[in-house]
Chain A
């Protein structure tokens, strides 16, 4: 530790302040998940578990959660495949346009969601593609590719080539080598990329708002429609609270995975 003690104390105070800032709305939302009144005004009027029951019995919520899980899983899988293929190409081969590819891969996540959203929506309407889970997945997979790509390419840069050469020497063809040497080497990168992509897809509202269509709801879409109806606001808080609590597990998992690798470096 080369930082002087005064600085360290200041840092500790500053960090605590930032943490309070980060969690203030979450505390508020927790309070209101137990608030009897339908109108979210301060101060809260009491304590009740009524809304938890309402949320559990709400078929729209259950469908929305199922849809969200399905969409996130499929979109993440597609993103992993496409991202891995792209990163293998960019990292292992030297060709004209290499830089451009990483640029274009970042574009879907760097351009504002509203632009991506109406572009996709206009295209779907133009080509008569019916809105539904498929269109949502297309949108999500597109901007999740870069997450998989970034994680995998960072790992590929550090993976030694000799095990792969050894595998080839021992008679393994390209597919075998990939399956048995490269893929396990990338394993944790894929996992952390998958977790991040999953999180992004699960909470995505802006692009999904344009690509979902009339009858399909993911959790953020359900929240958007429910939050505008007075009776549903407390239920929304309950659902959000439960999701946050459940999400700690994958987040903890992700940090364990990535820290295992980081810890190996200085």
Chain B
């Protein structure tokens, strides 16, 4: 029984992988698209979610905000929530097949739907779905061919977060993080994700209108190059990059950064600790996100996932979650509940104001065909964006 020769091993391995490849097939291999679950079975024992940090609280930071423990007690599904750093990370985690679903933004949902990683939802199994604002249902980021693929959850803009003691006048534009930010050299905090290129493009829509950018996520070569140049200038000005909200909070608290891009969540957290921090939506608008709970096609605990999606569409859970994170609730009932936790929350987040959200560019996936009907246009795709971001960050 000599040890296996190297060549023999290689042969065996190749055969093994061939067999596996033949058996697994792929989403693009001609198999029909995933279909929604027909009925609700008995709840399984656990639920594995991918979430944005802050989307599954169990009262550890503030005992008043806990929508996970009541769910676990009601259904017996133990929730394991894994936070993602950005949408690219979320998509990759879903591809591993270990998770039952998660809360995804528009720049992840398209890829998940196209890749057959998520399944459509059977809204009849989700009683609370009916109450959700019509303006959130069946949008391009949460549906495919008129079939709903998820349960909407909160939306909001990316904000300019600043230290009120250093930036004494409320900023009205994004200038402080771009050209006007030379006075803040080395103290600028930027989201570490390729999707941030869209923010550069958004800024160019006002400062270099002749570039003709109509959609900050679909950029042709010239527009893209201009956005990258802007980002490189920003980096040369000493921008620092945050991947997790706690890192950003720590650097604001230490005074290492005074201005940057963030979410209402961090603003809320720091104001709760009486830090001199505020957030503002500049006049030219901003990028933002509209999140959806989606279920994995290969979910191991699909019934728990359906119960969760229904739970998160309920007034109490959605109200708590959206007040906690600082985003807009998804139904009138949730709005009313949110009012009890934080009066004026619905108005503050413009939950029913569709005109407001016209100024917000939801995160979307860059596509080579520019996601439009014009065949002649070609744009930089997701790969180009990630590679460009790697180059900026790695240089």
A residues within 8 Å of B by Cβ? 38-41, 97, 121, 125-127, 130-131, 213-215, 225, 227-233
Contact = CB atoms under 8 A, between A and B. Distances in A.
A125 B20 contact: no
Interface stretch (B94-102, B278-286, B325-333): B94-102
A228 B53 contact: yes
B249 A230 contact: yes
Interface residues of B, number: 25
B60 interface: yes
Contacts of B99: 214
A229 B60 contact: yes
Given A40-B250, A126-B20, A230 B82 contact: no
Given A39-B253, A214-B98, A228 B83 contact: yes
B98 A131 contact: yes
Nearest to A230: B246
Nearest to B249: A230
A228 B246 CA distance: 6
A215 B244 CA distance: 21
The SS class assigned to the A binding surface is loop
B336 interface: no
A214 B249 contact: no
A231 B97 contact: no
Interface in B42-65: 46, 48, 53, 60-61
Interface of B: 3, 17, 20, 46, 48, 53, 60-61, 80, 82-83, 96-99, 244-247, 249-250, 253-254, 269, 273
Contact of B249 (A39, A130, A215): A39
B40 to A, nearest CB: 22
A40 B61 CA distance: 15
B273 A38 contact: yes
Given A127-B20, A228-B53, A39 B80 contact: no
A227 B82 CA distance: 13
Contacts of A39: 249-250, 253, 273
Contacts of A41: 250, 253-254
6 closest Cβ pairs, A-B complex: A214-B48, A215-B80, A231-B61, A214-B98, A228-B246, A228-B244
A213 B46 CA distance: 14
Given A39-B249, A214-B80, A125 B17 contact: no
Given A38-B273, A39-B249, A40-B250, A230 B61 contact: yes
Nearest to B97: A125
A215 B83 contact: no
Nearest to A210: B96
A57 B60 CA distance: 12
Nearest to A37: B273
Given A39-B273, A229-B61, A230-B61, A215 B250 contact: no
B56 to A, nearest CB: 11
A127 B17 CA distance: 9
Given A41-B253, A126-B17, A127-B20, A213 B98 contact: yes
Contacts of B48: 214-215
Given A39-B250, A215-B80, 7 more contacts: A126-B17, A127-B20, A214-B80, A227-B246, A228-B244, A230-B249, A232-B60
B335 to A, nearest CB: 28
30 contacts: A38-B273, A39-B249, A39-B250, A39-B253, A39-B273, A41-B253, A97-B3, A121-B96, A125-B96, A126-B20, A130-B98, A131-B98, A213-B98, A214-B48, A214-B80, A214-B98, A214-B99, A215-B46, A215-B48, A225-B82, A225-B83, A227-B246, A228-B244, A228-B246, A229-B53, A229-B61, A230-B246, A230-B269, A232-B60, A233-B246
